[in-house]
């Protein structure tokens, strides 16, 4: 019994340096990702994967890094690998949905956002993202439903008012479109990223009326 205990202790201790090194690499990769040093994050997550190729969070982290570097195909490959290793990894399907949107894989994007919402049904960002995909797919009724749902969950979420206003404008429901454009400007401010476009669309409706 004593001999076995000693052997097990030696065996366990032999893993401490390797585990410590890997934990350090994971932390370094995470810090780089958090600091938006995406090239460094890719390198560090790749080192983790080299030593532990079944670690889903490393593929997920590297996928996010590739996404922010604009390498959407590689990001998708990593998200798919992460999903095959851990299908319940938090925010994985949301991230993959954004990636599929960038790659114009719109059906896959809807499926990803829907899977995310099965786990997190009150995720305003995911509902809004799915609404955008429906808009790109010209599924206006579905887009309208999701924009409205996002607003019902967070009535201060400005982007959803903009998206819904655009749909109302497409549907020629100008009064509701103007109401939502005005709400967007009230919430986001007149110096927001979309304010000039909103003002243009409001003017367009005014001219037609």
Average pLDDT across the chain, whole number: 90
Residues 6 or more apart whose Cβ sits within 8 Å of residue 2: none
Domain boundaries, the chain: 1-89
Model-level pTM? 0.86
Q: What confidence tens digit (pLDDT) does each residue in 39-85 have?
A: 999 999 999 999 889 999 999 999 999 999 999 999 999 999 999 99
User: Distance between CA atoms of 20 and 146, rounded to whole angstroms?
Assistant: 46
Q: Calculate Rg over the CA atoms of the chain.
A: 23
Alpha helix segments (H runs only) across the chain:
2-13, 16-34, 38-51, 56-68, 72-85, 92-102, 106-119, 124-136, 140-153, 158-170, 174-188, 195-208
CB count in 10 Å sphere of residue 138: 9
User: Distance between CA atoms of 133 and 105, rounded to whole angstroms?
Assistant: 9
The architecture CATH gives domain 1-89: Alpha Horseshoe (1.25)
**How much is the pLDDT for 1?**
31
Whether the pLDDT of residue 168 is over 90: the answer is yes
Q: What confidence tens digit (pLDDT) does each residue in 86-139 have?
A: 998 989 999 999 999 999 999 999 999 999 999 999 999 999 999 999 999 999
User: Distance between CA atoms of 97 and 54, rounded to whole angstroms?
Assistant: 22
- At 140, is the pLDDT very low, low, confident or very high (cuts 50, 70, 90)? very high
């Amino acid at each position: 019994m004593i001999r076995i205990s000693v052997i097990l202790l030696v065996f366990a201790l032999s893993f401490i340096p390797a585990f410590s090194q890997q934990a350090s690499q994971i932390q370094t990769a995470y810090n780089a990702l958090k600091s938006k040093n995406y090239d460094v994050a890719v390198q560090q997550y790749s080192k983790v994967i080299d030593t532990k190729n079944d670690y889903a969070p490393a593929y997920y982290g590297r996928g996010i890094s590739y996404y922010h570097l604009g390498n959407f195909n590689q990001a998708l490959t990593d998200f798919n690998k992460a999903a095959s290793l851990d299908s319940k990894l938090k925010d994985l399907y949301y991230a993959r949905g954004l990636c599929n949107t960038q790659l114009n894989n719109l059906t896959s994007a809807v499926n990803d956002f829907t899977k995310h919402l099965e786990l997190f049904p009150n995720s305003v960002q995911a509902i809004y993202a799915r609404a955008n995909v429906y808009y790109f797919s010209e599924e206006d009724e579905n887009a309208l439903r999701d924009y409205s749902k996002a607003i019902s969950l967070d009535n201060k979420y400005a982007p959803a008012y903009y998206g819904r206003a655009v749909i109302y404008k497409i549907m020629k429901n100008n009064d509701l479109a103007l109401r939502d454009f005005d709400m967007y400007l009230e919430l986001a401010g007149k110096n927001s990223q979309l304010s000039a476009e909103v003002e243009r669309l409001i003017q367009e409706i005014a001219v037609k009326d």
